[in-house]
Amino acid sequence: MVQRRTVLALAATLVSATLIPSTSAAATSTLTIDLGASTGAFHGGAAGSLYGVYGPGVPSNAALAGFYPKTLATKAQDGPQHPGADALEVAGPWVANGGGDVYIYMTDIYRGFPYQRAQGQAGRDDFRAKVQSQVRQVLDSGHRDHIVYVPFNEPEGNWYGTGQYSYNNISWLNDPKYFFEEYKQIHDLIKSMDPKARIAGPNTSLLYDQVKGFLQYCKANSCLPEVMTWHELSSPDVVRKSVAKYRGWERELGIAPLPINIDEYAYRYHLSVPGQMIQWMSAIEESKVDADLAYWNIDGNLNDSTVEANKGNGQWWLFNAYGQMTGDTVRVTPPSPGQQYTLQGIATLDKAKRQSRAIFGGANGAADVRFTNVDPAVFGRTVHASVREIPWTGQVGDSPEPRPLLDTRLAVAADGSVVLPFTGMKEMSVYQVILSPGASGSTTAVSVPWSRTYEAENARHTGDGWSLNGPEGSPQNVSKFATSGNYNVGGLRTGSNVVLSFDVEVPHTGVYDLSVFSSTHNKYASVVPQGPTNVFMRIDGQQPQELRLPVSYAWVVWDHTDTRVQLSAGKHTITLAASDPLGTTRGDAIIDKIDLTAVDANTDGRSVYEAEYADLRKAKPQYTVSDSSGPGVAAIGMGASATFWVHSDRDGYSTVSFDHAGGGLGSVKLNGRNVDGVVVGAGTRSVPLFLSAGINQLTVTGTIGSLRLDRVRTSAALQPAPVKVEAESGTVTGAARISTGFSFASGGVATGVGDGPANALTVNVSARRPGQHMLVVRYANAQESIPTHYNPDPVTRHADVSVNGMTPKRVDFPNTFHGNQFRDLAVPVWLNAGVNTIRFTSKELPNWDGRRYNEYGQRSKYAPEIDYVTVAPVVGRS
């Protein structure tokens, strides 16, 4: 017999993915996790990125650290291939936030793709000089130990193919002599300058059979790379086959196993979608190789994982769950092993922590998740099971932490198995299961709110100009973006009278969250004048709201606009219209779907983070505290720590509660900075903290004794509103000015700040008490450089921010895609009691040598346009 249980306290609610009781035969699909079959130490290699970091702060340190980064491939320092992502500027934040090696694409010192190098020997000579310069930069940088050189990228499509910039119009795939010759020359040049250098290659666009010849040549000529690299962009299953093929070549040729980095993987259709990415990740983790997410869109967002600077979408939370796996991976047998676009997963067992973690997804419908060989010496006869869902939230749509679905105890069957039956699974989602000992602690009845998705292509429509668009990205067309339901609709645009009518039915009277998934291209002619597209929403012709649908860098790049509505039980019609008594639409937006979710007043605005599930460094879970929340607590001794990844839907205060069972004291860090005056274990358990919108890295470090931390909770906090100062109330100097030409700003906007310190904005802000504060800047930044191929090239601007005349701090402001689309960025500052002066300036940053400057507009001279700032203490009033 296998033990089956259901979600507790579901009552009459329906959920997107539920666990159901069953006394009949097992579901037709079973994903089996064998906890008795180790497949090796957890590697974490899928958390790599190509061009994923723009510079310090983009993404934020918290978003970068919580991604659990492994390897980064990026452009040569000062390379003109794209703005940002300069190797020696991003190496610092990458390594400081847990990342490993930085792979320098040395060819990205050129413009264009294919790379615009002269043909013949002149091109070779030019590249040789550029390689020498890059190696000298690395040796002088202080980052040498973290650098891997990648001398060539996709040579068959560049200098050793048959295109315009080919060395001699001969493809190395047909005649490898000339490529091998230059590879050997560049290899030897790098080694002559840096004998300890690590070199990667050949970095082909896939694992061609001709790579075997490359290995033979390099073995015979003493130029084997330290890391083997190639790309996999077509299919997850090819990863397994390619790695096996390559390892076979090594054995055949007598070459010791080399580290592998598949330094570009996945396509547009896969990126941002947890259910797609888990298939790639499972193949990569199973193969025990490193791999870097491909760069198809914009740089600096961890390849469609982060939003703005500090927010994460569903893909970010997937990598956060992946990165917190520890111990050994165990054998996972999915219903269709190795078959792409089916249910796949990864699982680990950490015997020291007495935890098993599994992440899986990629299929619709029902499946059993069956754990076997559940060792009673590790778990006892009862396990505590926690289940969460990581949904797709769009390419640029913020996501809260994974949704709780179940928290319960399950008896281990006599055959050592535990079965969790799922139904209603979504192929775009991933599901996480954590098993722990279940003898102590407590369970929580999870409230899973009613939720429904309504596809735009199924909505009724009236008016002229409606269009059905698609099919979008699919297994048959991976170059397009993923879209819910594979179709979307257009018609909400300037001059239109289109109305989309969604027929919905809700189970009870109450408040509902409504999310509209939309896309607006910032370059489209009707979008350029205003930016965000305004549309009008009504419920049964009533409750009118004007929604501003955000712009992005391309069509079919999905974001969501969220609002709340009051609905009575029963049927309703939700309309989105281009014309309303409130006004008319300006711009153009396409609609993918709407999501409608009931708001539970008991859990609204509240989150719980169990300490025993946190990222524990030298701390240990204890499962012997009978009244603990969840299965246990984390014992945090002196110098040990527990890190939580806490989500906030806005910049502002939350009441953060530290529930503990005594035993010691601990200090608190928020986003890498000590929070003054907050001691966990010394009486006060709750404190109002100013959290940044998106991801917050909250760390409790033991200082005295062994603190038994149970959990961290967040909830709404009643605090005074932050002090708000409009830009027009400040002082502008030089060429900086105040403009009233931004319709979505709250007032005047400071523009022209930068191009030297004379052109500045200065504002005065007041603080009630001295100490740590958060300065939140409301800004816009639409600057772009001219791209040379398929990647759009938005430019991050920076401001030099000086407080009370102190040394300015450089702050990077990621692109907002339109000058009339404003976003917020939180900056930590120290303020004195009373009036403080904050000055914004900027100037163009030079190249690495400090003398020369970028020729292609890829480094900005200016700060962003500034609408207003707010300030508030990090610790609110108790």
465-469 contacts: CB < 8 A, separation 24 or more? 465/490, 465/491, 465/493, 465/496, 465/497, 465/498, 466/490, 466/491, 466/498, 467/491, 469/556, 469/590
Calpha distance 686→404 (Å, rounded): 23
Neighbour count for residue 10 (Cβ, 10 Å): 18
- Measure the CA dihedral 541/546/547/552, to 10°: 130
Element (H, E) at 514: strand 510-519
The owner of tokens 């069972």 is 661
Nearest to 51 by CA among 847, 778, 787, 558: 787
Res 684: pLDDT: 60
Calpha distance 323→510 (Å, rounded): 38
Under a CB-based contact definition with an 8 Å cutoff, are residues 93 and 108 in contact?
no
The owner of tokens 């592998």 is 260
Q: Quick check: pTM over 0.85?
A: yes
Calpha distance 703→669 (Å, rounded): 13
Q: Tokens for 675, please give them.
A: 């929070």
The owner of tokens 């070549």 is 249
Under a CB-based contact definition with an 8 Å cutoff, are residues 488 and 579 in contact?
no
The owner of tokens 């409230």 is 447
Under a CB-based contact definition with an 8 Å cutoff, are residues 154 and 191 in contact?
no
Q: Tokens for 397, please give them.
A: 């749509």
Q: How far is CA 610 from the centre of its chain?
A: 22
Q: Tokens for 330, please give them.
A: 């165990």
- Burial category of 740 from C-beta neighbours within 10 Å (exposed 0-12, middle 13-18, buried 19 and up): exposed
Is 379 strand, coil or helix?
Answer: helix
Under a CB-based contact definition with an 8 Å cutoff, are residues 838 and 799 in contact?
no
Is the peptide bond between 828 and the residue preceding it cis, with omega within 30 degrees of 0?
Answer: no
Share of the chain above pLDDT 90, in %: 94
Residues 6+ apart with CB under 8 A from 610: 386, 629, 630, 631, 710, 711
- Looking only at the bridges linking them, the beta strands covering 30-41 and 749-751 are unpaired
Written as one letter, the residue type at 734 is: G
Output the CATH code of domain 18-41+327-445: 2.60.40.1180
Q: What kind of fold does domain 48-323 have according to CATH?
A: TIM Barrel (3.20.20)
Residue numbers of the chain with a pLDDT score lower than 50? 1-17, 20-27
The angle formed by the CA atoms of residues 353, 359 and 364, to the nearest 5 degrees, is: 155
Domain residues of the chain, as ranges?
18-41+327-445, 48-323, 452-598, 607-716, 723-873
Res 28: pLDDT: 72
CA distances to 471, 555, 573, 583, 715 from 489, rounded to whole Å, are: 11, 12, 18, 22, 38
**Domains 18-41+327-445 and 607-716 in one fold:** no
Neighbour count for residue 718 (Cβ, 10 Å): 9
CA distances to 533, 591, 791 from 457, rounded to whole Å, are: 20, 9, 29
Calpha distance 448→603 (Å, rounded): 10
The angle formed by the CA atoms of residues 595, 390 and 511, to the nearest 5 degrees, is: 35
Q: In CATH, which superfamily holds the domain spanning 723-873?
A: Galactose-binding domain-like (2.60.120.260)
Domain at 452-598, CATH from 2.60.40.1170, 3.30.450.70, 3.40.190.10, 2.60.120.260: 2.60.120.260
Calpha distance 196→683 (Å, rounded): 54
Q: Is the dihedral of CA 184, 190, 193, 195 positive or negative?
A: negative
Written as one letter, the residue type at 811 is: V
Calpha distance 152→201 (Å, rounded): 7
- Burial category of 323 from C-beta neighbours within 10 Å (exposed 0-12, middle 13-18, buried 19 and up): buried
Res 21: pLDDT: 40
Res 179: pLDDT: 98
DSSP 167-192: SSS--TTT-THHHHHHHHHHHHHHHH
In CATH, 607-716 is 2.60.120.260: yes
Res 8: pLDDT: 28
The owner of tokens 């890190």 is 643
CA distances to 38, 425, 482, 593 from 502, rounded to whole Å, are: 49, 23, 22, 10
Calpha distance 208→353 (Å, rounded): 42
Calpha distance 215→210 (Å, rounded): 9
Instruction: Name the H helices within 628-757.
Output: none
Nearest to 538 by CA among 570, 589, 582: 582
Under a CB-based contact definition with an 8 Å cutoff, are residues 200 and 150 in contact?
yes
CA distances to 420, 432, 606, 733, 766 from 403, rounded to whole Å, are: 17, 10, 12, 49, 39
Res 24: pLDDT: 36
Under a CB-based contact definition with an 8 Å cutoff, are residues 600 and 511 in contact?
no
DSSP character at residue 657:
E
Q: Is the dihedral of CA 491, 494, 495, 500 positive or negative?
A: positive
Q: Is the dihedral of CA 858, 863, 865, 869 positive or negative?
A: positive
Q: Tokens for 319, please give them.
A: 């990598």
The owner of tokens 């907002």 is 816
Element (H, E) at 430: strand 430-437
Calpha distance 435→717 (Å, rounded): 33
DSSP character at residue 692:
P
